[in-house]
Amino acid sequence: MDPGIDAAHAGALIAERFPELAALPLVPLGTGTGHAAFGVGGRVVVRFALDREAAGALEREAALTAVLAPLLDLAVPAFRWLAPAAHGDTPAMGGYPRLPGVPAITWNGPLSTRACGVPVGGALRVLHGLDTARFARMDVPRDLDPTLADWREEAFEELDLVGSAGAVTDDEAARLERLLAAPVSAAGVTARLLHGDLAAEHVLLDPAGVPAGIIDWSDACLGDPARDLGGLLHWGGEPLLDAALTAYGPVPPGTRERARWYAACRAVADIRFGHERGLPAYAAAGRTALAHLR
């Protein structure tokens, strides 16, 4: 976990700010680039913002999921506890009843691409079809660069880092470089409401391996729909995307190519994240995505 939000610190903050959850056992669930999450008593998830930007994202996420909950067939977090950043080192924090299911990144059983793809594709159809003006008024940020220059620059920087660290083989590095160099463009794309970080770790599966919920909406933005579709390619390759599109509907020309490119960006990011944080499941997910993209 982040050194500033270890279990003892988290427990003290929860007791102070969410006293009804005090004295319940804590289990670290993981730390991302912006948030640290703990399970509380096996029935609540409490997330702590690690910086000011993440604090704003947490507040937006709570408001956004409240709007989305009645619209989507898949469950989303329903925040019941929310506290802003306060004096000293007291971070913004929010909590919600834990949703049933396990993250798909940890699933070890067989998976049906149709059973997984259709519910997620249906949820994305609804999400991408919503009126973006409403969410712009909620301060959901716009993130759509027609040139994709920032994405490309960051992806190549991450590729250099994982290459220097020996986290990828020469063959993997060469394949990633070819994928990232693809001449894709988001010019003319209409911004839609996105989950923004859709991949296996944020899709919850029920005991039958069927999607039951989508978590972590802190990266939600108004952007290129191919970004969310790329998360399906990253997770399950073309078969999963094809299954999702049966519920999502037809996509404009160029969407699949951009989805592949976003999936390649996510692959190198996951390899770096897994290598640097000592999380082999993420590095493995990045390599699996690379295999899907051959």
pLDDT mean over 251-263: 97
Q: Is the pLDDT score of 1 beyond 50?
A: no
Q: Tell the burial category of 108 from Cβ atoms under 10 Å away from its Cβ (0-12, 13-18, 19+).
A: exposed
**Type of residue numbered 106:** T
List CB contacts of 276: < 8 A, sequence separation 6 or more. none
pLDDT mean over 204-210: 96
Q: What structural domains does the chain harbor?
A: 7-97 (3.30.200.20), 102-292 (3.90.1200.10)
Q: Tell the burial category of 49 from Cβ atoms under 10 Å away from its Cβ (0-12, 13-18, 19+).
A: buried
- pLDDT tens-digit map of 110-125: 899 999 999 999 999 9
Work out whether strand 221-223 and strand 192-194 pair parallel, antiparallel, or are unpaired: antiparallel
**Mean predicted lDDT score pLDDT of the chain:** 94
- pLDDT tens-digit map of 6-20: 999 999 999 999 999
- pLDDT tens-digit map of 156-196: 999 999 999 999 999 999 999 999 999 999 999 999 999 99
- pLDDT tens-digit map of 7-65: 999 999 999 999 999 989 999 998 888 899 999 999 999 999 999 999 999 999 999 99
- Specify whether the CB–CB gap between 214 and 198 falls below 8 A: yes
Residues in the chain: 294
Cα–Cα nearest to 120, from 199, 181, 28: 199
